[in-house]
């Protein structure tokens, strides 16, 4: 079955700097990769997603890149702000009756 | 539009007690899911319901049962709670289990088993 690894587990950056979180997956059939942000006491909220027919997707300060050959995808946050501090989860799934498999999460702290 | 609503938000149980966690969504989604979240382990799927009237086991189903009451509601039951079931439980839903459809999550139920 699918296995998703996520690094780093914790990340601290200065406000205004960029943050990058990387995930790797094992199942070459996976074709949909969402990223979720979870704030303290809340459920995960979708922030961006990418499908396997696209290499990069941007939404304002957030971007996701996908390398199908290497089987990894990354979340890029530019011009970080204190409100970006949260736990971020990546996930992967395919069309062949599989459920989402989540990475273990990255705790991002943006220091003012 | 409330999205996914979970009740209760917090609960403390004694070992051996039973309880039901409730989940309801108002987005007319077909598929619903129950996850547990433990430190450092991400989200693990307990049970899911691909459509009304169907339920299936996920990665960690032991000690749990589910009921898809109707299209809106999906409940999770602990028949005899154990300390290992102390966790945060999340319900999620999406249009269709197949393909690239993101899940929408509730805010969780924090459950402690003493």
With contact defined as beta carbons under 8 Å apart, do A87 and A38 qualify? yes
CA dist B56 and B60 (Å) reads: 11
Chain B residues touching residue A51 (CB < 8 angstroms): 100
CA dist B114 and A63 (Å) reads: 43
pLDDT at A87 over 70: yes
Tokens of A90: 């990546």
Chain B residues touching residue A34 (CB < 8 angstroms): 102-103
Question: Which residues have CB under 8 Å from A60's CB, separation 6+?
Answer: none
Query: Looking at the complex, does the CB of residue A104 fall below 8 Å from at least one CB of chain B?
Result: yes
Among partner residues A9, A46, A95, which is closest to B98 by beta-carbon distance? A95
Q: B10-13 and A72-77: which strand pairing?
A: unpaired
Question: Which residues have CB under 8 Å from B46's CB, separation 6+?
Answer: B34, B35, B36, B58, B59, B60, B61, B64, B66, B76, B89
B24-63: pLDDT as tens digits: 999 999 999 999 999 877 899 999 998 888 999 999 999 9
A37-51, A97-111, B94-108: which is most confident: A37-51
Chain B residues touching residue A105 (CB < 8 angstroms): 40, 42
Chain B residues touching residue A104 (CB < 8 angstroms): 40-42
Query: Looking at the complex, does the CB of residue B48 fall below 8 Å from at least one CB of chain A?
Result: yes
Q: How far apart are the first and last CA of chain A?
A: 41
Contact B103 A51 (CB under 8 A): no
CA dist B20 and A96 (Å) reads: 31
Query: Looking at the complex, does the CB of residue B79 fall below 8 Å from at least one CB of chain A?
Result: no
What pLDDT does B1 receive?
Answer: 61
What pLDDT does B98 receive?
Answer: 65
Residue of B nearest to A94 (CA): B99
> What number is the average pLDDT over the span A74-89?
97
What pLDDT does B81 receive?
Answer: 95
Q: Give Cα separations from B112 to A16, B12, B42, B85, B87 (angstroms).
A: 39, 5, 18, 8, 7
What pLDDT does B97 receive?
Answer: 63
Query: Looking at the complex, does the CB of residue B63 fall below 8 Å from at least one CB of chain A?
Result: no
What pLDDT does A52 receive?
Answer: 87
> What number is the average pLDDT over the span B68-72?
94
With contact defined as beta carbons under 8 Å apart, do B112 and B47 qualify? no
CA dist B71 and A94 (Å) reads: 24
Chain B residues touching residue A2 (CB < 8 angstroms): none
- Split at pLDDT 50, 70, 90, the class of A97 is low
With contact defined as beta carbons under 8 Å apart, do A71 and A45 qualify? no
With contact defined as beta carbons under 8 Å apart, do B24 and B111 qualify? no
């Amino acid at each position: 079955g699918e296995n998703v690894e996520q690094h780093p587990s914790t990340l601290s950056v200065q406000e205004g700097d960029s943050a990058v979180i990387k995930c790797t997956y094992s199942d070459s059939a996976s074709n949909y990769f969402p990223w979720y942000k979870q704030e303290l006491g809340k459920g995960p909220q979708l922030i961006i997603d990418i499908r396997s027919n696209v290499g990069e997707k941007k939404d304002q300060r957030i971007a996701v890149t996908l390398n199908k050959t290497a089987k990894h995808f990354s979340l890029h946050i530019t011009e970080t702000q204190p409100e970006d501090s949260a736990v971020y989860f990546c996930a992967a799934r395919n069309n062949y009756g599989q459920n989402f498999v989540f990475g273990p999460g990255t705790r991002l702290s943006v220091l003012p | 539009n409330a999205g996914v609503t979970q009740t209760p938000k917090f609960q403390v149980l004694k070992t051996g007690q039973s309880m039901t966690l409730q989940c309801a969504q108002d987005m007319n989604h077909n598929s619903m899911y129950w996850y547990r979240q433990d430190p450092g382990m991400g989200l693990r799927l307990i049970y899911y319901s691909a459509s009304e009237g169907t339920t299936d086991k996920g990665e960690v189903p032991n000690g749990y049962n589910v009921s898809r009451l109707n299209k809106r509601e999906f409940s999770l039951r602990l028949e005899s709670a154990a300390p290992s079931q102390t966790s945060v439980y999340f319900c999620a839903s999406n249009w269709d289990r197949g393909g690239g459809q993101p899940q929408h999550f509730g805010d969780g139920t924090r459950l402690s088993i003493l």
